[in-house]
Structure 1
Amino acid sequence: MPLSHRSGAFPWNALISGYSELGQHEDALALYFQMEEDGIEPDCFTFPRVLKACGAIGSLPHGEAVHRHLIRCGFAVDPFALNGLIDMYAKCGDIAGARRLFDSIPKRDAVSWNAMLNGYIRHGLFPEAMDICRRMLVACHEPDAVTISSILAGCASARCDLGLHIHGWVLRRGLESAISVANSLITMYSERNQLHSARHIFNSMPEKDLVSWNAILAASRRDHRVVDLFRKMERSGIAPDAITFVSFLSACANLGLVEVGCTVFDEMEDKYGVKPGMEHYGCMVNLLGRAGLIEEAQNLVSTKMPFDGGPTVWGALLYACSVHGNVCIGETAAARLFELEPDNMHNFDLLRKIYRDAGRLEDVERVGKLMKERGLY
């Protein structure tokens, strides 16, 4: 095939990358298959981009089709293609297929190791991840700050000690000053409910960014010092974003800080330029509901929220009604949730609890029959 035709892959590659960057992975794949249909020969840059799109949507059949195509095109041993394949198979759930490809590579680079390591972490296979980590270090492929951050993010919610081992390795290599690593460590210790360690790392950071502040605020969701942290963030000159307010308002709900939470919520848009979204209203309903201010919570949803409430908002209201025994508003919230989540048994159980606590046993039986009709038990 002439070189001019081969070079025709360049604009297609750019478009595929563009779609992927925008999160339009199905469009990226459609463009790739159109490229194949039009007889445009892919180059070494095409397949990694397409495999990334396959992994993003978790489509193993598409990924396998791309794998067969790249073999036909002579890229079976191309390192970029192989690394992309490992990542794709891991993200699509075929971790064994990813490992077979990994083992077939005679000379692995840092990307190969990272793809396999992150694949194991993503699937919760931490002994295998630890083994890969050790072998990676023996092979003299030391992970950089970006890789370490990714590994720690995967370990954050896991009940294992891999993150602690990684932290020790970070300290020995002097990487603790990297902002991305420190942020991931804060999140990891937060998930382990080790606030002291999270705060120590945060306070030791020479520089902090928005992610740093959001991480420590999330970690402090049950600590009264969260208010001081929020004020310090304001004084630091870093503007809070939507994530900041979700963390802070959730903390106010946990700690019963009704006045503080209401004040900050009222100031979100005017003072900080952040328009409250569904999650923020959910936090406020949770805050008011926990404090027993059920009518105020319903008024917020019914008259002040500029969009229809989703399961988060109505679920918080129903839960508050179940705690404080408000039958009338509980019925309203439950009716809305039955429309939004017709198969969520938890909502039915909460309404039954409300009726049971109110002594309305006939209504308890009625809701039970409704659950049976919907096949919920």
Structure 2
Amino acid sequence: MFLTLLFYAGVVIGEAACIAYAINVLHGYPWRSRWTEEITLVALAAIGLGSLELARRYWFVPVSSWPTSVAALAGGFCLIGFVGVPAAQLSRSLRSRFVGVIPSERREELQDLPREEFIGDGHHAWLLRLPGNRSLDLEAHDFSVAFPQLPDEMNGLSVLHLTDLHFSRAYDRRYFQAVCEAAADMPSDIVLVTGDMVDDPACIEWIAPLLKDLPGPLGKFAILGNHDHFHDSELIAAALTEAGFRVLDGETTLVDVEGRRLAVGGTCAPWGPPIPDDAVPSADFSLLMSHTPDQVYKSAKQGWDFILTGHNHGGQIRFPLIGPLLMPSVYSRRFDRGFFRIRPSLMYVSQGIGAKHPIRYGCVPEITRFTLVRSEATARRDLAASSGATKASSCSPT
């Protein structure tokens, strides 16, 4: 009896893992249909019927009497549940140790403000009232990141990153006003917004008045996200332009920083145009806005130094030890949140600010400021190598 129960537990775990993986990968592709969620629910219902059939067989039919095909399927799920899932968790743990932890200051920004005022009257607003939901618990993060190739003239350059605001009437406009005020209190040289501005077309008019006061003396740049392409993307881009942002849709530009060339690029690929390989400008340092982290391997081949992304929202619901289950990425949970090093690039995946379905457990919304630094050790090494050695091209967080 115990072995049979253990076998079925493995089947359940393995099946759940396969379902989550399939949902993640399928939602990582650039489907244009607005019926993706409905199709997913139908597929889950069909899978659920299959699970009920396995449960029925478990209770009423000995496993030894199951048809070979059903037993093989169940055995595969059991193997995934007891071998594949623990192996994946171990890999995630080792990866985190390899990347390392960068010292950060974290601040809760809105804890003294009345949360009820931040809840709107739109679709999904009821989710914000669920007990323990942390969708309104905004945090501000400050990171210092060292790059060996950073020019001295850019030492101390600050970059403010906002992503996935998802303006909708599920939130009251006052919530986004408070978010933007908190961001404005983190003055930075450059402001980057990496897509998914709206989920409700009626909220496009919020963009310009809310974002226009964000200071960015060296430039404010933005891209669109996949949710923006479900609405009037040209109107959204125009609103960002009105707010003082330059929208880079598969484009790049150069910013002068004390005589040095800083390249800034942006892409919403695969929903929007990618940046062609021959369009990446020669620069002393480069920043890339990519809505999804799924483009990181291509972007790393292009040589971008620092890549800022969002889209995955950190999974929104994260379980202790396990982490997130659902994440719209062709790589499933590989790039969930935080820093990732894909040489020669360093990528940061933000948990974002809003969500179409505003529900977060173990995963708070965030705004992030990065201070780029050139360490003394790196500077001394370059001086010692001034006889002609090639400067290192890889970047490493400290």
Higher strand share: 2
| TM value normalised by structure 2 | 0.24
Higher helix share: 1
| TM value normalised by structure 1 | 0.25
Larger radius of gyration: 1
